[in-house]
Amino acid sequence: MRFLSLAALKVAFADLFTKRHSALVLSSAGKTYEPVLLEKKALIDALPAALTGGKPLTDEITLADESHDGFGGAIWYLVQAYERWPQVPPEVLAAVKRIQAALIPELDELKASYALEAHAAIKHREDLQRLEADLRLIPIAGGLSLYDWGAGFVAGGDLLGTLLSQRADAGSGSRSEAGKIRASSVAVLGRFRGALGDELSVNPALPKDLEAQVFGYFDELDKMRAAAVAAQPKKAAPATPAATPAADPPPGTGK
């Protein structure tokens, strides 16, 4: 099982403790190794999604920023429209001016770095509560109000902050630790497989295909990964030292 990636281990452990759990605990070896395997599963599940096959954080950050800027731009232009309305009611004009001053005084603020937008969302969440009456005064198609756009704007900034934190967690230190978790998980699976094989050789009451029942999904994922690796074209050794691949920009440098 040397080709199993962290993503494959995460999926296979989930399968082992659901669909294959009855097979796992059928043997004495399985009962002995169950808590150890469950601990490995928990460690892998706790890793950042970027290390276990989730959507790349760069893509998620881009999508969160697009949502944040989309709602922010919509709020800005709607406020501008109300301010230009010759017959705007005074109370509505006062409300939109307060909204603009608090949430998005200048359209260029949507060009700020990810970190600044995430930080601003902390204050904007307070503004959202303080200006709720003003925001709900402005109707939006579909039975919504400007409050819904404001909530989307703030949620986008909050998500940016969460994703930036996750990206920091997925740094080199986390990757090194994840590598150790993967290696120890594969080692435990190997020891369990050996113990199960020994038990099967002396206990005829156990199903002859129990090893396949327990390890079938691990083996399938291992074979798929091995085939994918074998199919990759081999690269010739470079004549000069290869350049270091570009990494995600450090938190706060986006945009």
With 0-12 / 13-18 / 19 or more C-beta atoms within 10 angstroms meaning exposed / middle / buried, residue 24 is: buried
Q: What average pLDDT score do residues 152-174 get?
A: 82
Query: What is the reported pLDDT for 60?
Result: 81
Q: Which residue has the higher pLDDT, 178 or 248?
A: 178
Q: What average pLDDT score do residues 125-141 get?
A: 96
Q: Which residue has the higher pLDDT, 182 or 249?
A: 182
Where do the structural domains in the chain lie, given as residue ranges?
6-48+172-230, 57-169
C-beta separation of 203 from 196 below 8 A: no
Beta-bridge partner residues of 23:
none
Query: What is the reported pLDDT for 168?
Result: 74
The answer on pLDDT for 122 being more than 90 is yes
The overall average pLDDT reported for the chain is: 88
What span, in angstroms and rounded, lies between the C-alpha atoms of 74 and 61? Answer: 20
In which region does residue 243 sit, left (phi positive, over 0), alpha (psi from -120 to 50) or beta (all else)?
beta
Q: What average pLDDT score do residues 177-198 get?
A: 94
Q: Which residue has the higher pLDDT, 50 or 188?
A: 188
Query: What is the reported pLDDT for 52?
Result: 72
C-beta separation of 110 from 65 below 8 A: no
- Do the bridges between strand 144-145 and strand 139-140 make them parallel or antiparallel, or are there none, so unpaired? antiparallel
Torsion angle, alpha carbons of 158, 163, 164, 168, to 10: 140
What span, in angstroms and rounded, lies between the C-alpha atoms of 76 and 103? Answer: 9
Going by pLDDT thresholds of 50, 70 and 90, the confidence category of residue 245 is very low
pLDDT per residue as tens digits for the range 4-15: 888 899 999 999
- Print burial letters for 195-219: b (CB count within 10 Å at least 16), e (below 16): bbeebbeeeeebeeebbeebbbbbb
Q: Does the predicted TM-score (pTM) go above 0.75?
A: no
pLDDT per residue as tens digits for the range 80-99: 999 999 999 999 999 999 99
Query: What is the reported pLDDT for 246?
Result: 42
Q: What percent of the chain clears pLDDT 90, i.e. is strictly above it?
A: 71
Lowest-pLDDT range of 62-71, 121-130, 161-170:
161-170
